[in-house]
Chains A and B, each alone.
Chain A
Amino acid sequence: MSAEIKETEPLFSPKNRKLLSIPLNRDNPITMQVLGVCSALAVTAKLEPSVVMALSVVFVLGVGNVVISLLRKTIPPRIRIIVQLTVIATLVILVDQFLLAFAYDVSRQLSVFVGLIITNCIIMGRFEAFGMANKPWPSFLDGIGNALGYGWILIAVGFFRELLGSGTLWGYPVLEKIGLYSTGYENNGMMILPPMALIVVGIIIWVQRSRERDLIEEN
């Protein structure tokens, strides 16, 4: 009995908390692992779709990682990719139908990219690297952590692109209300184009690596 008690560690032990916090910065899926960049470029022209996309990925990755972790001992290794895809596809269809029912406009804006969460490399990567080898609770934390790491980049990029490109935030005309246009200011049309998302992500990476210099790769 006493041996079993020793094995249970508190829910938010330092190790578990690290699962949540490391992907936010030092092992960020976008800026460090360079995964999921395609969707980061495609949906971030406005803040609202960025937030919805981030939440969808949090749901899919958090729940999916738990499901995979629960099934990990019963999945035959040779067909594990197909099983993982089935789990992801199920969850993505749930998200898609939910959005169609309750947030139709956003769903239209995100269009094909909700369905393409299936191909988001971050999800597959976490299933393979973590869910297949760990218990449900750490898997859940790892999934949420990585999805949030992905999500905050999306939201940050979406914030700047919408503010500078359209002069609005969540559709609210911020710059017009504070009267910037009357001074001769104009929206930056390049911010709405996908290349600018790449440059904004680049700036985030730049800031991150100049704050933590040990992250800079040698080549």
Chain B
Amino acid sequence: MKGLRRYLDKIKPAFEKGGKLEKLHSTFEAIEAFIFVSNRVTLTGSHIRDAVDLKRTMSIVVLALMPPLLFGMWNVGYQHFIANGMEASLWQNFWFGFLQVLPIVIVSYVTGLAIEFGFAQARGHEVNEGFLVTGMLIPLIMPPDVPLWMVAVSTAFAVIFGKEVFGGTGMNILNPALTARAFLFFAYPKEMSGDKVWIVDKPDAFSGATPMGDAMIDQVDKIPSPMDMFLGFIPGSVGETSTVAIIIGALILLFTGVASWRIMLSVVVGGLVMGWIFNLLALNEYMLIPAWEHLIMGGFAFGAVYMATDPVTATQTIKGKYIYGFLIGFFAVMVRVFNPAFPEGMMMAILFMNVFAPLIDHYVVQANIRKRRKRWQKKGIPDV
């Protein structure tokens, strides 16, 4: 570590103003900040800086993504061997899934970071750590069998049109990882739906439908047992099958205070409310499944914990967070049950509410201003 520090110190002058490699300045700074704590000193304004910067926050989210990732790797192997009628040990399962998922992770990171570095160079600003989380989220919401070039194309689309056109990290309207998935969903529907893509090398005779797929074609009785769905022994996108692993991640996020508990809670409440409404309506079999079962099916839990809580695209006000979260859960279940074109509604619901988040914030702020004005008027103090 010390040697590395010395080496960086030695080459640093070349990247500073007037140096030979001044143009690559932002790349150098990104690498330095990634390995070491930034030693930059503030020149004006407040001099006390919190130790929790963007880098730390992002690292915690990546850490919280480990349980679903590791379980997902194991499950990819497990589903593959089950479908092919083979017995496999824990390690064989994991190793197969590891080899399947790792390339997706690498492609996602390489594509996304290359574009981020390129834009930072061209615009002359620092490389943000924002992509560290996006790059990990993308593989987790892909089908395990997705062709790698499609991962690259959709990652590129998401980073450029979901993020960079709006000004980079912190400026985006839509969640970049979900933008990638939505792009894949609309551009290459064959690879993203049906029952072929959720298990690697699935033999034709084996039904590989996900619970969502079964429910959509009115085969509600085929949905796996709640216990299987809760633990995650079902086919699906890499990281979203196991609710247990996601809950472990959620606890990490909540304990460290990185994600908003208000949003998570209200997403769950929103989903339950819509589920109960459907139970009351009871027009078809799908509407009859218990409301809580919606929470462990499909990408609901994953979306609620990792996607809806994205601080950039969510609402900023406290009241706004409750409204935002509630509507995500509400719409996710509604799209699932009502819309025959989309087996899963979580992606649509979150992207939809991302667009509405600034509007919600606006009205919450306006309502607060009106309330305070009324209080003043009651006291007889005139408007300023």
Contact = CB atoms under 8 A, between A and B. Distances in A.
B165 A188 contact: no
Given A199-B161, A206-B165, A190 B147 contact: no
Contacts of B149: 184-185
A186 B190 CA distance: 10
Contact of A190 (B165, B186, B190, B191): B186
B189 A189 contact: yes
Contacts of B161: 199
A193 B188 CA distance: 12
A189 B147 contact: no
Nearest to B122: A210
Contacts of B153: 188
B187 A191 contact: yes
A199 B165 CA distance: 11
Interface string B165-195: 1000000000000000001001111110000
A189 B188 contact: yes
Contacts of A186: 150, 188, 190-191
A190 B191 CA distance: 13
Contacts of A185: 149
Nearest to B187: A190
Interface string B65-98: 0000000000000000000000000000000000
Contacts of A184: 147, 149
Interface string A178-219: 000000111011110100000100100010000000000000
A131 to B, nearest CB: 37
A189 B161 CA distance: 17
Residue from B147, B150, B186, B191 with most neighbouring chain A CB atoms (10 Å): B186
A147 B149 CA distance: 39
Contacts of B150: 186
A18 to B, nearest CB: 32
Contacts of A202: 165
A184 B186 CA distance: 18
B186 A189 contact: yes
Contacts of B165: 202, 206
Contacts of A189: 186-189
Contacts of A190: 183, 186-187
Nearest to B191: A186
B103 to A, nearest CB: 14
B147 A193 contact: no
A113 B235 CA distance: 46
Interface in B125-179: 147, 149-150, 153, 161, 165
Residue from A184, A190, A193, A202 with most neighbouring chain B CB atoms (10 Å): A190
A188 B147 contact: no
A146 B31 CA distance: 49
A185 B153 CA distance: 11
Nearest to A199: B161
Contacts of B187: 188-191
A119 B160 CA distance: 34
Nearest to B184: A190
Contacts of A188: 153, 187-188
A73 B75 CA distance: 79
Contacts of A206: 165
Contacts of B183: 190
B217 to A, nearest CB: 22
Nearest to A184: B147
Interface in A153-191: 184-186, 188-191
A194 to B, nearest CB: 12
A199 B150 CA distance: 19
A193 B186 contact: yes
Nearest to B148: A184
Nearest to B153: A188
A184 B191 CA distance: 12
Contacts of A191: 187
19 contacts: A184-B147, A184-B149, A185-B149, A186-B150, A186-B188, A186-B190, A186-B191, A188-B153, A188-B187, A188-B188, A189-B186, A189-B187, A189-B188, A189-B189, A190-B186, A190-B187, A191-B187, A199-B161, A206-B165
Interface of B: 147, 149-150, 153, 161, 165, 183, 186-191
Q: Which 10 pairs across A and B sit closest by C-beta, in order of nearness?
A: A190-B187, A190-B186, A188-B187, A189-B187, A186-B188, A184-B147, A189-B189, A189-B186, A199-B161, A189-B188
Interface of A: 184-186, 188-191, 193, 199, 202, 206
Given A184-B149, A189-B186, A206-B165, 10 more contacts: A185-B149, A186-B190, A186-B191, A188-B153, A188-B187, A189-B187, A189-B188, A191-B187, A193-B186, A199-B161
